[in-house]
Amino acid sequence: MTSRASDLANSAEAAWSRRRVLACLGAWPLAAGAFGAVPAIAETGPLRFTHTFGETVLPGPARRVVSLGYTTHDALLALGVPPVAVRYWFGDFSYGVWPWAQPYLGDARPFVLTGEVAMERVAALKPDLIVGIGSGISRAEYQVLSHIAPVLMHEDADTSYGMPWDVMTRTLGRALGKSAQAEILVSGVREKFSAARARHPDWAGKTAVPAYHWGGETGAFVGADSRARFFIELGFQPTPAVANLSGPSGFYAPLSPEDLSPLDADILVWISSYGAVPDLVALPMRRTLRAHIEGGRSWQARLSPVRCRSAACCRFPSFSKSWKPI
């Protein structure tokens, strides 16, 4: 499939948000798997973190962690510190934890936070660390939360939902006194990526674009977004037009329905909900894309958790057999 243009519509059953695949990609640290044999090299003294809202100081490694980011609990679980509270994103899974991470829960029964962050609820959990990375909380919320426990945020250079997975994993590892373990997790995922690149040298130099269509708007995931980076780590490049896009949020950029040519890549992956598929298929300018014209190899698949994890493990083309044409 690699040499052909493909037009894939990835769709999750109960999934709606644009950020959904972040959840899958958040599983990377878990996919790295093996850890535990290496002793943690603990930093001594207070741990200092500089971030977009200033500086946070932890007196020592955290153990009771409230995870407010929509995917940060995956990294915490991989690091062996199940959070005391998890932010609900989507999917009907107990404790808001998707199947790939369920085994890492152990005996933990995290509280599931839904909707807006309820400060009183967070305070009642008596955390010693609040993870605000990838949570979208405001500076005002950060300040209130800081009275409860030290709060970690994304770095100034990143957007709210745009902290790269590796930086996020390392930051959390340091906060938990498990930097060495975080390094192992990150390098494990990196190895899987480089193995995938080695297996598919023909991917290098090909273009790939993760696109969305939702609520009457079409666009591409750009910049440091996990979906955009996923393809880059596999060896693909964004199309030059997409590379030049930067949306107001920094992680996705809307396009005009009259000109979808930036999406004209060797591989086009639609990441959208099932509900939006009829609109997506009906997009008039989709007919002008190579993926459609040369296509014939277009699929859609429900992004079930298992496949999702497969995707995270870079076996993504191999499971496309179960996809049906659109």
The residue ranges that bind other proteins (CB under 8 A) are 14-17, 90, 114-115, 214-217, 254-259, 273-279, 282, 284-285, 287-288
Residue 29 or 96 with smaller CB distance to other proteins: 96
DSSP 110: P
151 with 106: CB under 8 angstroms? no
Q: How far is the CB of 275 from other proteins (least distance, A)?
A: 3
Q: How far is the CB of 214 from other proteins (least distance, A)?
A: 6
Residue 129 or 308 with smaller CB distance to other proteins: 308
92 with 14: CB under 8 angstroms? yes
49 with 55: CB under 8 angstroms? yes
Residue 191 or 294 with smaller CB distance to other proteins: 294
Residue 164 or 257 with smaller CB distance to other proteins: 257
Q: How far is the CB of 248 from other proteins (least distance, A)?
A: 8
Q: How far is the CB of 157 from other proteins (least distance, A)?
A: 24
275 with 20: CB under 8 angstroms? no
Residue 288 or 320 with smaller CB distance to other proteins: 288
DSSP string over 272-323: EEGGGHHHHHT-GGGGGSHHHHT-S-EEEEE--HHHHHHHHTT-GGGGGGG-
Residue 34 or 282 with smaller CB distance to other proteins: 282
Q: How far is the CB of 282 from other proteins (least distance, A)?
A: 5
Strands (E), 13-139: 47-51, 54-58, 65-67, 85-87, 111-113, 129-131
Q: How far is the CB of 8 from other proteins (least distance, A)?
A: 19
Nearest to 53 by CA among 125, 133, 173: 133
Nearest to 133 by CA among 192, 215, 74, 202: 74
State the amino acid at position 211 in one-letter form. A
Residue 15 or 196 with smaller CB distance to other proteins: 15
* 302 dihedral zone (left: phi>0; alpha: psi -120 to 50; beta): beta
123 with 160: CB under 8 angstroms? no
Q: How far is the CB of 136 from other proteins (least distance, A)?
A: 12
